[in-house]
Amino acid sequence: MIGEIIAIGDELTSGRIANTTSSFAARQLFVAGYEILAMQTIGDTPELIGEVIKQAVGRVDFVIVTGGLGATTDDLTNKAVAEALNRPPTLYPEILDIIRHHMGDTDDSASFLEKLAWLPKGAEVLNARARMAGYLLVYEDTPIFFLPGVPSQMEELLVEHVLPCLADWTGNDDRHHVRQRVYRVFGLHENEINEKLRRLEKEPRSKIGYYPVNSEVHVSLTVLGRSEEEADTLFASLDRQITAALGDVIYGLDHDSMASVVGALLRAGGKKISVAESCTGGLLSSKMTGVAGSSEWFTGGVVAYSNDLKEDLLGVDNRLLAAHGAVSAPVARAMAAGIAGRSATGIGVSVTGIAGPTGGSEEKPVGTVYIGLFVDGEVTDSLFHFAGNRKQIQEETAQTALDLVRRSLLGHVRK
């Protein structure tokens, strides 16, 4: 089955907000085995809305329409559908009841929201209990799903109601059997990864994609089998080959993050970590504490921008600072040992560098970063030269520091 996605809203065609719902829908549908012929984005113009829906019905097997279902005057999807598909607005008492129940009879907003209870004739409500119900309209045997434009509402209705309904529509027979995995890679350039995997790209019924995301590359493997068995066999074979070809630059899969992987390793080893940051300014700690449950393995950290704080909070000897400067290997080592000592953790990681745009010199240009690592009494340091703007250098530094911790916990050395 082939589908089409139509997003409606002036805020989209004027570029004021980015359309994220269409990509989300496309991805969910693709993984479930459907193809998307086209995604359209149009403004709140009833004539065009009607025309575009009619065109889609004429060329695909199902249509998803998002946006324009709200209660304000610029929400015109139902009006367009009523006119273009000849489905006059009809009052749905069960929706009205729910609105009144939520709002209370005396509330002014209840009458304002009554507009939500008028749907095109023949509409089947997807989830009457949801704040924005969404509905299915069958037109010339083609199912058209109308969903709210608010991403969270749309995503819930799509996953919980539209996908099951579509699966029922014709049964599973003509769909692909899809297997998909994302390999999260850090420390190898897109071109180098491509080089290592190129020979696997020749496999028909599979597709390998390369997507640089900040300092990482996400490699996607998609297998479209003609049967469950074919999909499983081919997927297992390619998965094995990709894993072997890339090795430990794959730090995680699917929804892992570098920090969540490091956290899982620390928890598994019963270890704790603390952090001393200069140029990343809290980003490294923030990545760690963004992981739920991080208090089990993260005790805390110091953001020491000034030399005084490096001395006072981390116990860095001011003679080291004077002799080598704050951005130096000895200071990185002292910071890592200092925070581990103060926090009484087995592991301490430190970062000192120049994120720019100012502060660089000929000897230590913007992007110069030292990372120190204290592990059970031993201290090491590594020097890096990162490129990019301030934000990119901070991001690359924080990820590299996490990767050094990961490799240390795995007993692997970064090559």
Site for a copy of itself in 42-61 (CB under 8 A): 42-43, 48, 52
Segment interacting with a copy of itself, rule: CB under 8 A, options 98-106, 250-258, 317-325, 388-396: 388-396
Site for a copy of itself in 295-324 (CB under 8 A): 295, 298-306, 308-309, 312-313
Long-range contacts of 158-161 (CB under 8 A, 24+ apart): 158/24, 158/25, 158/28, 158/64, 159/28, 160/127, 161/126, 161/127, 161/134
Per-position DSSP letters for 20-54, written without gaps between them: -HHHHHHHHHHHTT-EEEEEEEE-S-HHHHHHHHH
Site for a copy of itself in 262-291 (CB under 8 A): 274-275, 277, 280-290
Are 280 and 401 spatial neighbours (Cβ–Cβ below 8 Å)?
Answer: yes
Distance, in Å, from the CA atom of 176 to the CA atom of 35, rounded to the nearest integer, reads 9
Which of 92, 222 has the CB closer to a copy of itself?
A: 222
Neighbouring C-alpha atoms within 13 Å toward the C-beta of 227: 3
Per-position DSSP letters for 356-395, written without gaps between them: SSS---SSS-TTEEEEEEEETTEEEEEEEE--S-HHHHHH
11 is a site residue for a copy of itself (CB under 8 A):
yes
Site string for a copy of itself, 202-221 (x = CB under 8 A): -------x-x--------x-
User: How many chain residues bind a copy of itself (CB under 8 A)?
Assistant: 75
Q: Rounded to the nearest whole angstrom, what is the least distance from the CB of residue 78 to a copy of itself in the complex?
A: 20
Site for a copy of itself in 236-265 (CB under 8 A): none
Which of 16, 255 has the CB closer to a copy of itself?
A: 16
For residue 336, CA distances in Å to 56, 258, 307, 379, 400 come to 60, 20, 15, 8, 15
Q: Rounded to the nearest whole angstrom, what is the least distance from the CB of residue 343 to a copy of itself in the complex?
A: 6
Which of 92, 260 has the CB closer to a copy of itself?
A: 260
Distance, in Å, from the CA atom of 57 to the CA atom of 295, rounded to the nearest integer, reads 53
- Residue among 1, 32, 36, 110 that touches a copy of itself (CB under 8 A): 36
Segment interacting with a copy of itself, rule: CB under 8 A, options 135-143, 245-253, 263-271, 386-394: 386-394
Which of 29, 250 has the CB closer to a copy of itself?
A: 29
Token pair listed for 257: 């993050």
DSSP 167: H
- Residue among 23, 86, 90, 361 that touches a copy of itself (CB under 8 A): 23
- Residue among 1, 32, 38, 379 that touches a copy of itself (CB under 8 A): 38
Q: CB 38: neighbour CB atoms within 10 A?
A: 14
Which of 35, 83 has the CB closer to a copy of itself?
A: 35
Backbone angles phi, psi at 65, to 5 degrees: -115, 130
Site for a copy of itself in 323-362 (CB under 8 A): 342-344, 356-359
Distance, in Å, from the CA atom of 351 to the CA atom of 401, rounded to the nearest integer, reads 8
Q: Rounded to the nearest whole angstrom, what is the least distance from the CB of residue 158 to a copy of itself in the complex?
A: 12
Residues 6+ apart with CB under 8 A from 256: 184
Which of 124, 308 has the CB closer to a copy of itself?
A: 308
Site string for a copy of itself, 389-408 (x = CB under 8 A): -xx--x--------------
